[in-house]
């Protein structure tokens, strides 16, 4: 049975939490550390469809969905540091997570917690995939991930698309700079669609997306916050994308694939987050391919 629980974890600048999803009928064999999408400007850690949660937890994977601070209050340096801190917290303080998803209270009292963290995968959708890829590329963790799942992620490998107005978003009603006044000025992690999504639309309509998420010289953005200087990943990659993606061009996915040779999943769809339609056979095939990748890489990792 699918269950969830929320825990507090250390956060330097804001009240930080993670939501753990697990199946009480299956002993955990690995954990998936999840980071949500939203262009770094909106979204929450609880955005995963129930289909995804049920499919993965029934297969023996626990999902840990983390908060991270949102732009423009937080910039990329703080955001990425926070994501890496979450990964390190899992590795270094695994017992606190294990205690939260043991099958029964009696078992947690009698069975000692593992002394080492279970194998883990990084998983992100859209901006969360970007953060997972960046964190994985750093390769500075005491225990490396068994793999990375990138659902319509990116590494800013292709020029132009992220610094110019988006044709798709320019076709929507115009949003002006006043949208920024509706969001909190302090560091925060939850970006409700009603208040934060319009900021993303504004960013993509004006081509000012990078200005809202990064503060610094353009040279260091390319060096530190893209995948252009990363020649090889320390773990296998699974990358999924739709051919008609409205947010991240298919060319970005192709460049990612050409550079790193991941396992690919391509959907013939004119939608960015195509897997939100959980009744579509494409989403079901995506989950089948994802679980096959996880099981294979976990066997090789062990």
Please report, in tens digits, the pLDDT of each residue of the chain (302 residues total): 999 999 999 888 899 999 999 999 988 899 999 999 999 999 999 999 999 999 999 999 999 999 999 999 999 999 999 999 999 999 999 988 988 776 444 444 444 556 678 999 999 999 999 999 999 998 789 999 999 999 999 999 999 999 999 999 999 999 999 999 999 989 999 999 999 999 999 999 999 999 999 999 999 999 999 999 999 999 999 999 999 999 999 999 999 999 999 999 999 999 999 999 999 999 999 999 999 999 999 998 87
CB 126 within 8 A of CB 132: no
CB 146 within 8 A of CB 119: yes
- CA 150 to CA 225: how far, in whole Å? 16
Q: How many residues comprise the chain?
A: 302
Annotated domain spans of the chain: 2-301
| pLDDT tens for each residue of 243-271 | 999 999 999 999 999 999 999 999 999 99
Cis ω for the linkage preceding 72 (within 30 of 0): yes
At residue 145, the 3 state secondary structure works out as: coil
Decide if domain 2-301 falls under CATH 3.40.710.10: no
Name residues whose C-beta falls within 8 Å of residue 120's C-beta, 6 or more positions apart in sequence: 30, 31, 32, 33, 87, 90, 91, 143, 145, 146
Instruction: Specify the residue for token string 């006043």.
Output: 178
pLDDT at 113: 55
| Single pTM value for the model | 0.95
- CA 253 to CA 158: how far, in whole Å? 9
Task: Say how far residue 118 (Cα) sits from the centre of its chain.
Answer: 19
């Amino acid at each position: 049975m699918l269950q969830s629980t929320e825990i507090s974890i250390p956060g330097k600048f804001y009240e930080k939490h993670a939501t753990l999803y697990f199946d009480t009928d299956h002993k955990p064999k690995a954990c998936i550390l999840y980071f949500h999408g939203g262009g770094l400007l909106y979204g929450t850690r609880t955005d995963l469809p129930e289909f995804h949660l049920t499919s993965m937890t029934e297969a023996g994977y626990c999902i840990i969905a983390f908060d991270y601070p949102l732009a423009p209050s937080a910039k990329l340096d703080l955001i990425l540091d926070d994501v890496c801190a979450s990964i390190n917290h899992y590795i270094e303080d695994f017992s606190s997570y294990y205690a939260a998803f043991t099958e029964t209270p009696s078992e947690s009292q009698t069975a000692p917690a593992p002394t080492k963290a279970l194998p883990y995968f990084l998983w992100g959708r859209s901006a969360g995939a970007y953060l997972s890829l960046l964190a994985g590329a750093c390769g500075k963790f005491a225990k490396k991930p068994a793999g990375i799942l990138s659902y319509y992620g990116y590494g800013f490998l292709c020029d132009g698309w992220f610094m110019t107005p988006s044709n798709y978003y320019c076709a929507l009603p115009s949003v002006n700079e006043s949208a920024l006044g509706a969001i909190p000025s302090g560091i925060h992690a939850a970006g409700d669609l009603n208040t934060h999504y319009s900021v993303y639309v504004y960013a993509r309509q004006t081509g000012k997306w990078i200005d809202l998420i990064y503060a610094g010289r353009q040279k260091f953005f390319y060096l530190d916050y893209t995948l252009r200087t990363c020649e090889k990943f320390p773990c296998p990659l699974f990358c999924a994308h739709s051919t008609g993606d409205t947010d991240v061009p298919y060319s970005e996915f192709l460049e990612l694939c050409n550079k790193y040779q991941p396992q690919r999943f391509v959907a013939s769809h004119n939608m960015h987050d195509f897997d939100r339609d959980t009744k579509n056979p494409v989403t079901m095939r995506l989950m089948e391919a994802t679980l096959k990748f996880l099981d294979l890489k976990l066997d090789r990792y062990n």
